[in-house]
């Protein structure tokens, strides 16, 4: 009797972990979309509760035993919320950030994940087919974080696109109050 076995070495992309002090919070993200956070954000969160939906990530076996849940509204501009789950029930709010659906996308490989494990925020370092390096905020990191494989090509949908990033002057400072 002959048994043939093909070993498949599956590796996750390299992960760099950031602390809470090194990452922007959800309030920083909300400031991008509104000048009146005290009025707009509670309305957005209420709309999220009224029209909650779960986006489909790479894992088709999402279950109630998962430790986090990502809520998202199916609108062109919406807020994603990350909730901590325990025994299939929401336990606490972790983070929220704005999302914009768009027609832009490319097939890319994930080279590195830069993540904050407390807030479940992540930026992916992507390499496109032509060799371009792209850094993108991962709106579905909470749902997909255990599914990413090094060397696998994924279709990446981009909410926004920066045509050019240039190095700032050493004395240039952005002050946020």
- Under a CB-based contact definition with an 8 Å cutoff, are residues 118 and 23 in contact? no
Task: Quote the CA–CA distance of 111 and 93 in Å, as a whole number.
Answer: 30
| Other residues' Cβ atoms within 10 Å of the Cβ of residue 73 | 20
pLDDT tens-digit readout, 102-128: 677 889 999 999 998 887 788 889 999
pLDDT at 25: 64
pLDDT at 113: 93
Burial per residue of 126-150, b for 16 or more beta-carbon CB atoms within 10 angstroms, e otherwise: beeeeeeebebbbbbbbbbbeebee
pLDDT tens-digit readout, 42-62: 887 777 666 555 455 666 665
pLDDT at 140: 79
pLDDT lower than 50: segments of the chain: 54, 64, 73
pLDDT at 69: 55
pLDDT at 110: 94
pLDDT at 111: 94
| Other residues' Cβ atoms within 10 Å of the Cβ of residue 78 | 20
Strand 77-86 to 14-17 pairing? unpaired
């Amino acid at each position: 009797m002959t048994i043939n076995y093909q070993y498949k070495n599956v590796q996750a992309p390299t992960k760099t972990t950031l602390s809470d002090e090194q990452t922007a919070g959800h309030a920083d993200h909300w400031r991008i979309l509104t000048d009146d956070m005290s009025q707009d954000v509670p309305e957005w969160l209420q709309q999220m509760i009224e029209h909650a939906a779960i986006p489909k990530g790479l894992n088709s076996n999402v279950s109630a035993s998962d430790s986090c849940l990502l809520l998202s509204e199916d609108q062109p501009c919406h807020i994603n919320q990350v909730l901590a789950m325990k025994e299939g029930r929401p336990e606490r709010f972790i983070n929220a950030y704005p999302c914009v659906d768009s027609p832009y996308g490319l097939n890319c490989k994930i080279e590195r994940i830069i993540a904050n494990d407390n807030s479940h925020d992540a930026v992916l370092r992507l390499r496109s087919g032509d060799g371009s390096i792209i850094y993108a905020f991962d709106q579905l990191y909470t749902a997909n974080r255990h599914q990413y494989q090094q060397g696998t090509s994924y279709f990446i949908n981009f909410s926004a696109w920066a045509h050019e990033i240039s190095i700032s002057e050493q004395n240039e400072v952005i002050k946020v109050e």
